[in-house]
Amino acid sequence: MRGKGLRYAVVVLVAVLLLSMGAGSVSADTVTGVPGKYSKEINYLISENIIQGYPDGDFHGDDKVTRAQAAVMVGRMLGLPGEKRSTDFPDVDKGLYASGYIQSAKDKGIITGFPEGDYRPNKSMTRAEMAYLIVKALRLEAKSDVTFTDIPKSSKLYDYVNKLSTAGISEGFPSGEYKPDRIISRTEFSLFVARGMNKEFKVSSGTEEPMEVLEKQIVTADFLNVRNGAGSNNQIVGKIYTGDTVSVYKKEGSWYYISSDNIKGYVHSAYLMDKPSKTYKVAIDPGHGERDPGASANGIVEKELVLDVSKKTREYLENAGMDVVMTRQSDWYPSLSGRVAIAERNNATEFVSIHANAASEGANGVETFYYASGMSSREFNSYKLAKFINERLYKEMDMTDRGVKNGNFHVIRETSLTAVLTEIGFLTNKEDAGKLKTQHYREAAARAIALGVMDYYNWKE
């Protein structure tokens, strides 16, 4: 079931569940009793006019869902006849509001009774029973390597719970259990519906109960697959990108269970780094500009290249929670002293000037400069910042490492800030220039510089 059909189905499911809801629409602000930690999902359903509350204005999140309500849900979803009628179950009276749906669902083999022959319409639904119903209702088929300690893989229930978890609609608990016999509440059901309707709320194997955040980390890869289990063979449930901040909840060897925005799942720890605990402010200086184009070769103008890379660097840093000052954001030329003044006036603590090199055709690679005339702490910090950036840069660019050098450049000499000047490749070298023409390597340069800055901040802490 897809598109409008799926939306209709979930609307019917919730409408049936909330048989006692009052007439008229309400806002999220007027419904009380919404659990705080799930307010986003439930308020989403309210904003979509799916949940409208009860006459007393309360959400009643702890109320239970009955098997009769479930039969109506499934019946309306599938368009089964719902007129009241006699049933094959001795405990389902013809006058029961759900009698028609119960018998129609039974005729289709969708629901069954208990061994004694009764249906028990007023019995509360369990997590196991709801798994059967939602998987059938939404026609979920995809499975993955999800396991639960209290559900053997050999059991029929395992397939249904696996499909529900693979779809990002339900999870287990920190103990590794699914708790199939646990009675399902209105809150839990609302979460299932929100996740079925909106991919932003989908989850992956982990926990439906709050977990303690162990630490904050930053993604260092271009992109990183988030999986529903600890291992590369598990299904991908989403992606996160360079500079994204993730909360780490648990560690299973080299795999971490994390959340980032609305994505939860496992990622490999090799592509994460510690998030600096403080918010720092760094000045990014795109070299040259306006009347000073810098070097030009192989179809590249330095002032245009470094402005592009600098803007990308700013984005990576800001995504990671850093404050950024730009000495220029367009094609204009601040003086060398003016660039330093912009950084210092805006209370930056670090200064990174970005350039591209030019020399003989054979010269190639990346290099990063700092200035030192003595042994001051500022000069040592500048050396360390240059080391961190250059180490990232030559690897990301797959270029020759020309190293870290002491350079007598105005913008890194005439400042009180920790300051470096990095050369991201030679425009006069065909191989370097070929890379610098592409957005792929410009992104790589920006990513390397940003990660080098964050490496430095982590070192300082």
Catalogue the active-site residues.
423
CA–CA dist 402, 411 (Å, integer): 21
- Identify the DSSP state of 275: P
Distances (CA, A) of 114 to 108, 200, 226, 261, 441: 17, 37, 40, 43, 64
Three-state secondary structure string covering 398-447:
CCCEEEEEECCCHHHHCCCCEEEEEEEEECCCHHHHHHHCCHHHHHHHHH
- Are 417 and 344 a contacting pair, CB within 8 Å? yes
Q: Which residues contact 245 (CB under 8 A, 6 or more apart)?
A: 216, 217, 218, 260, 275, 319, 320, 321
> What is the Rg, in whole angstroms, of the alpha carbon atoms belonging to the chain?
30
- Are 376 and 415 a contacting pair, CB within 8 Å? no
State both tokens at 85: 């009628």
CA–CA dist 419, 383 (Å, integer): 9
Q: What 3-state DSSP class applies to 339?
A: helix
